[in-house]
Chain A
């Protein structure tokens, strides 16, 4: 991304230009997928989708300060589509590591939202230890042959491409033998099976890869350098995560503008119970503290000081979700024995109890998160890793 010097436009001039575009083109709320795609195409065409990117890829080479001006103008108008140079995980990863050929083919469609994507990272044998993947990519004359199994893949059934990490070298230590690919999903070697979760829903899939074909030009970064590409991708992913998890799914709201736990306790006739009030107070307090931490982190980032707070949000959110579900259950008492649409409160408490693990396990378990905070924020030494410097072929697994 270029610095401000590459864009000889004044802040005011830029602001005027964005406003003019929005005034002429933005018509308000978008109805449905077709209108959304059409709008995104316009934003890309007008070079507002990725203003920080270089001009050759529909960017403007703006610095962060000016790009934020663009974003704030879009936000003020309620318009979407800009800021993708921060938030579009797929396009940013491709720009950073893709071949010229792949970028020419996919960058613009990705920005226009025309390409379905999914993540092929985790495996049954590689969860917290992601570098321990055993899916293999074997080089053929002009393509790679992929064999293995991936798991926890959202949108696998509809995706056009999956961002895949696979092992291409088994004779070097684990981090150094991994490569990163854009794998075409719509081919016979890719089989997608929905995974039934503890919540009795299926948002994730298992993906079985059997002699799946990945063209050579779909390799991102150098062969064996996939771990580095992955870190770039994960950084983009994390920057848009932590927006919070899903709320109750019954759709039967307790109250529009009251704290949900207070409303629930009132409805259940438990609001005068001093023990319940203490528990409610703790949970609402935790939520508020997390919001305050986030606000302080943003303020500190604006001042240019790096903030320890950002890495704490996910851990805090795990605790909040588990605690909130526990207190909901406590408020309902025996009512939580039930489930189903006739018992929406029980449905919510029980769903939230189970779905809390989505946050405390998904995207790195709380335990891994504590390692990261301990090591990267507090500077505590790492645990010795017994598999770090030996060929992956000799690493124990299971």
Chain B
């Protein structure tokens, strides 16, 4: 996969960090998460102008031509800032899936508009079981002359409510394939679902004879899905590492200034030892996320294993950091107004998206067995 030069990567990281420090403050996040769309359209435009939305898209289609390493770096910033945005759905998952399928017509039709932010796409890859495996796909495709129609349901579709285009995994007569569907076409019903993480949007999508265009590919379609999911998992891992680091920072700061019994609570070993353990979690998550990105970018033989490891290690670390952070703060973090629960909500959601930790642990062992035998 692609990579940028180090200076270019740093520039992306810094400009993203500056933009988010300015436009995705806690106040912004709290305001945006209560809106129906769940994202800030002006910020979305600014991110597109910066090149972040089209980060991984080939320059031939108007993107920055970056890869997993840059995605990971940008998502560390997004995670730290609790960014409310369809970036993962459109810029990573949908764009990644299109490029993995590599249908020239579809690429020309969709990627330039995804890159400049004028079109939001997402991928509908799993059914009600929510396992992101081929067996869980609950949409069927039938041919109708030259066209196709879809029936069935897709669940946990991120940002479907604001998407213009859905990339839908469906079982056709000749096997699983990916279909392009206009989100607002007749026969498509997008029902937003209430989410535990208010900074995230997911929807249930019902297809009832929805008109669809099959995206052609020279490879098994689910292989392309896995490639896109790997990229999305690296993005999530970066988000988890960056989010965890931010939570640990403000928790340690609080432990230095909150006084009880005449001492900073961070001077007590009960708190200090928790903080030390969380630093190990946080640093390990960062190492895992960056390693997975690097191996994926290099198409290394252990890239799959590295992604699986990052997927469960970063998910577990982010949840633990957020959960312990609330305990370390005490009563103040039990209030709605304190940001800790926003991060815990994000952490618990991230830990389920695109496969839960136990799923990735199992696949990690499989990878290690395969590497041996």
Contact = CB atoms under 8 A, between A and B. Distances in A.
Q: Do A and B bind each other?
A: yes
Contact of B283 (A257, A295, A309): A309
Interface residues on B, range: 35 or more
B369 interface: yes
A335 B362 CA distance: 25
Contacts of B263: 381, 384
A383 B362 contact: no
Nearest to B256: A380
Nearest to A293: B287
B14 interface: no
A379 B252 CA distance: 8
Contacts of A378: 252, 266, 272, 275-276, 279
A296 B256 contact: no
Interface stretch (A137-145, A170-178, A284-292): A284-292
Contact of A277 (B264, B361, B372): B361
B288 to A, nearest CB: 6
A80 interface: no
Given A367-B269, A380-B267, A262 B365 contact: yes
Contacts of B321: none
A382 B267 contact: yes
Interface stretch (A15-23, A108-116, A117-125, A368-376): A368-376
Given A262-B369, A380-B272, A381-B256, A293 B267 contact: no
Contact of A289 (B252, B272, B275, B309): B309
A254 to B, nearest CB: 12
Secondary structure call for the B interface: helix
Given A258-B372, A312-B283, A371 B291 contact: no
B255 interface: yes
Interface in A332-385: 367, 369-371, 373-375, 377-384
A301 interface: no
Contacts of B275: 373-374, 378, 380
Contacts of A278: 358, 361-362
A259 B368 contact: yes
A284 to B, nearest CB: 7
Contacts of B369: 262
Interface residues on A, range: 35 or more
B279 A274 contact: no
A27 to B, nearest CB: 37
Contacts of A308: 279, 283
B273 interface: yes
B280 interface: yes
B133 interface: no
B280 A312 contact: yes
A393 to B, nearest CB: 28
Interface of B: 252, 255-256, 263-264, 266-269, 271-273, 275-277, 279-280, 283-284, 286-288, 290-291, 309, 312-313, 358, 361-362, 364-365, 368-369, 372
Given A292-B284, A375-B272, A378-B266, 12 more contacts: A262-B365, A262-B368, A280-B365, A281-B362, A284-B364, A285-B361, A315-B276, A370-B269, A370-B276, A374-B272, A380-B271, A381-B267
Interface of A: 257-259, 262, 274, 277-278, 280-282, 284-285, 288-290, 292-293, 295-296, 308-309, 312, 315-316, 367, 369-371, 373-375, 377-384
**A-B complex: 8 closest residue pairs judged by Cβ atoms:** A374-B272, A281-B361, A380-B266, A370-B276, A292-B287, A373-B276, A381-B267, A289-B284
24 contacts: A262-B365, A262-B372, A284-B365, A285-B313, A288-B309, A289-B287, A289-B288, A290-B284, A296-B283, A296-B290, A308-B283, A316-B280, A367-B273, A370-B269, A371-B276, A374-B269, A374-B273, A375-B272, A378-B276, A380-B267, A380-B271, A380-B272, A380-B275, A384-B267
